[in-house]
Structure 1
Amino acid sequence: MSKPADSVPALRRAVRVLDMVKAESRPPLAADIARQLELPRSTVHGLLAVMVELGLLEKTATQGHRLGTRLLDWVGGVTEKRDLVTEFYQTLDSFSDLNAFTVTLTLLEGMEVVYVACRNSATVLGASFRVGMRLPAIFTATGNAMLAEMDDTSFREWLTLHPPSTWPEPLTPNGIRSVTTLVREIADIRQRGYAVDDEQVHDGLWCFGAGVKDYSGRMVAGVGISLPQSELSRYDVAELGRRATALAQAVSARLGYRLPTGDAESPR
């Protein structure tokens, strides 16, 4: 039986080609690549043609090859996520009023949110958050906060792509079950400026969320602050929402976002 590493030889050759092209001081010709990588010329010509077609490589006027612009798109995506997490943690350091809460950063991916950063509090929540965890977006404060940041057209498109027939079963009795309830929740979030998970993810767990925007005003993430229901009476609910909003606005500012003229930030 062949080893798993040998199951996709074309992909492994493509990576070797990219590594070589990157290392060369001048764009190498197909013959150079075939010779240095010890591959048949016919194999190299076919591989290069596909890689040029896909934008992984570009052909120069001298018939040499250089890295393609599609790779820049991939690098930009990775860098953007990495920068987002860095800015989140650096911003969080200045929010001492959030030390008692578990604070999370999530991205919206289809029907789910994926947790890309997390600072757990010492308080026992009854549920644990970790980087890489995924949850249904409609049950989470950060997920609904990001949905609320969409314009009406984008939100309708999201609903078309994710109709109720594809929704997961609620995680608790409080989970959203219908489009009508979700639409009403989105309207409430837009009006008050933050989202609330009132024990939809886990019994006894509350979370307040708000959306993060980048320099262009595009929604890119959601931040959430979580606490056990037993601690909720110690705080004003609206104030917890404002804290989540203030954190989201601060992260957005670090990403280059500026509020439109005439808009005021929520007070901390």
Structure 2
Amino acid sequence: MKSEIAKIDGDTPALRLLSLLEVIAEKDQFFTLQGLVEETGLPKPTLHRMLQQLETAGMLQRDGDSRQYGTGVRLRRLAENLLLNNTVQGARHAVLGQLVKQVGESCNLTALSGNEVLYLDRVETEAPLRFYLHPGSQVPVHCSASGKLFLAQMTPTQRKRLLAHVPLERFTPNTLTDLAALESEIERVRREGYAFDDEEFLPGLICLAVLVPAAKGRSNLGIALQAPTMRLTPEKALQFLPALRQAAESIAAIDAEATPGNTASG
């Protein structure tokens, strides 16, 4: 049976090269030009040109009989440096992990990306019943707890501009699809400083979120817990609000220390 075609896309040549590198990064062995042609469906001359560019840049290198390719020194060094120096991500992840131990439920670090909420990181609960949403997942802004917080920071004009081009799709009976009802909910979120997704995106899933404080201006980070409704009610979730806010403060401190120009000692 023929394997699924790997998707190589991007609006620019540079993005398409990056997309090809993502395909290559998943390999645990040498590969050939013909193998990539079969895997990606791209024309052989196009792939040959892309591989030449990556080889010239030191991202790939020829191995074996010179028909095989492997990762180049520059690409390996990039990966090693990323892992070695990515202490901010490691520290944030540790905070999420500690929060999960406190609340006993899965927790996310989120950001607003365009008109959706992006999961930057996630730590899963050890409980047997869970909703699996991996880092990189994107959820609609109007029916997610973090999304409501991001919307609540916007001016009415900014929010109107965004929502005018985002269909308020109904995912469950609880999804707010009326703009007036959503505005009322956003006002409550602004007033109380936290937001719920009460089975508004997925049936049986409840989420409570707070913003990570920003040094100045609006925050583009949220921290949230998620749990099945059979295990967590909105009333019980609010008991975890202090733990969520403490985790948000910890992440804000990590980001502040890592901000260029900060004079705090490291």
Could you state the TM-score of these two structures normalised by the residue count of structure 1?
0.60
AA in 1 matched with 2:182? L
Deviation for aligned residue 1:212: 1.6
Deviation for aligned residue 1:187: 1.1
Q: Counterparts of 1:175 and 1:197 in 2: how far apart (Å)?
A: 9
Does residue 1:162 correspond to 2:163, yes or no?
yes
Q: Secondary structure at the match of 2:227?
A: strand
Deviation for aligned residue 1:114: 1.3
- Tell which structure's C-alpha radius of gyration is larger: 1
Which one of the candidate residues 139, 142, 146 is aligned to 1:142?
146
Deviation for aligned residue 1:209: 0.5
AA in 1 matched with 2:161? T
Q: Specify the alignment match of 1:3 in structure 2.
A: 45
Deviation for aligned residue 1:156: 2.4
What RMSD in Å do the two structures reach over aligned CA positions? Answer: 3.3
Question: Are 2:210 and 2:222, in contact at CA under 8 Å, matched by a contact in 1?
Answer: yes
Q: Where in structure 1 are there 5+ consecutive unaligned residues?
A: 20-77, 258-268
Q: Specify the alignment match of 1:113 in structure 2.
A: 117
AA in 1 matched with 2:158? E
Cα 1:233/1:173, change in 2 over 3 Å:
closer
Count of paired positions: 191
Q: Specify the alignment match of 2:40 in structure 1.
A: none
Deviation for aligned residue 1:242: 3.4
Question: Are 2:206 and 2:233, in contact at CA under 8 Å, matched by a contact in 1?
Answer: no
Percent of matched pairs sharing the same residue: 22
AA in 1 matched with 2:251? V
Q: Specify the alignment match of 1:62 in structure 2.
A: none
Deviation for aligned residue 1:111: 1.3
Q: Specify the alignment match of 2:177 in structure 1.
A: 177
Q: Specify the alignment match of 2:126 in structure 1.
A: 122
Q: Counterparts of 1:96 and 1:106 in 2: how far apart (Å)?
A: 15
Q: Displaced runs of 4+ in structure 1, greater than 6 A?
A: none
Question: Are 1:175 and 1:200, in contact at CA under 8 Å, matched by a contact in 2?
Answer: yes
Deviation for aligned residue 1:136: 0.6
Question: Are 2:143 and 2:201, in contact at CA under 8 Å, matched by a contact in 1?
Answer: yes
Q: Within 5 Å, which residues of 2 pair with 1:103-252? A: 103-125=107-129, 127-148=131-152, 150-152=153-155, 155-163=156-164, 166-233=166-233, 236-252=236-252
Q: Counterparts of 1:106 and 1:126 in 2: how far apart (Å)?
A: 18
Deviation for aligned residue 1:179: 2.0
Deviation for aligned residue 1:125: 4.7
CA distances 1:90-147 after superposition (whole Å, capped 9, x unpaired): 2234446535110011111111111111111122455311011111111111121222
AA in 2 matched with 1:188? R
AA in 1 matched with 2:256? G
Q: Counterparts of 2:208 and 2:174 in 1: how far apart (Å)?
A: 15
Cα 1:92/1:2, change in 2 over 3 Å:
closer
Q: Counterparts of 2:154 and 2:225 in 1: how far apart (Å)?
A: 24
Q: Counterparts of 2:174 and 2:160 in 1: how far apart (Å)?
A: 20
Cα 1:190/1:167, change in 2 over 3 Å:
same
Q: Where in structure 2 are there 5+ consecutive unaligned residues?
A: 1-42, 59-81, 258-266
Q: Specify the alignment match of 2:19 in structure 1.
A: none
Q: Counterparts of 2:236 and 2:207 in 1: how far apart (Å)?
A: 13
Question: Are 2:211 and 2:248, in contact at CA under 8 Å, matched by a contact in 1?
Answer: yes
Deviation for aligned residue 1:236: 3.0
Deviation for aligned residue 1:178: 2.2
AA in 2 matched with 1:117? D
CA distances 1:75-103 after superposition (whole Å, capped 9, x unpaired): xxx99xx6653332122344465351100
Cα 1:151/1:132, change in 2 over 3 Å:
closer
Deviation for aligned residue 1:171: 1.5
Q: Counterparts of 1:83 and 1:146 in 2: how far apart (Å)?
A: 26
Q: Counterparts of 2:45 and 2:195 in 1: how far apart (Å)?
A: 49
Cα 1:109/1:181, change in 2 over 3 Å:
same
